[in-house]
């Protein structure tokens, strides 16, 4: 990646972070999609926004005080099935964003804050994903 692109990416990230802090944007503006989890049809999304070398930890409930799901680490780009949604703790990067998804990766399931999934606007995905 050349320096010009890297600088532009940094400016975009800074602007997005400021907008998120002010509550002007929702999580990554993408969309849920149909997929298969363990052979079964599901509604899915991808993990996004996790720092390089880090992961998104699945929890047993919709908050950071809940226990970690054993072997429940998710990486950027990993596809997860979306079982249902609820509210809980705010996201670490946006305390005002309180939606959590119960996700399924086939061999385990747990909760993650929706801020780190490319689900798009809650007004859209609430029409397809049931509340827990």
Q: What is the per-residue DSSP string for 94-108?
A: -TT--EEEEEE-SS-
pLDDT tens digits for range 49-73: 898 889 999 999 999 999 999 999 9
pLDDT at residue 88 greater than cutoff 80: yes
Q: Read off the tokens for 114.
A: 């929706």
Which residues are CB-neighbours of 93 under 8 A, at least 6 positions away? 17, 20, 49, 115
Gyration radius of the chain over CA positions: 15
Contact 116, 59 (CB under 8 A): no
Q: pTM of the predicted model, to two decimals? A: 0.75
Q: Please say whether the beta carbons of 84 and 131 come within 8 A.
A: yes
Q: Over the stretch 5-28, which tens digit does the pLDDT of each residue have?
A: 223 333 333 333 434 333 444 444
Dihedral angle, C-alpha 19, 24, 28, 29, nearest 10 °: -130
């Amino acid at each position: 990646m050349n320096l010009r692109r890297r600088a532009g990416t940094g400016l975009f990230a800074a602007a997005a972070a400021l907008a998120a802090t002010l509550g002007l944007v929702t999580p990554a503006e993408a969309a849920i999609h149909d997929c298969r989890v363990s052979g079964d049809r599901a509604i899915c999304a991808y993990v996004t926004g996790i720092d390089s070398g880090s992961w998104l930890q699945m929890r047993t409930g919709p908050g950071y005080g809940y226990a970690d799901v054993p072997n429940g680490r998710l990486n950027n780009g990993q596809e997860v099935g979306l079982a249902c949604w609820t509210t809980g703790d705010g996201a670490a990067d946006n305390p005002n964003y309180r939606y959590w998804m119960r996700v399924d990766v086939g061999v385990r399931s747990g909760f993650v804050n929706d801020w780190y999934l490319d689900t798009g606007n809650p007004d859209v995905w609430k029409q397809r994903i049931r509340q827990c």
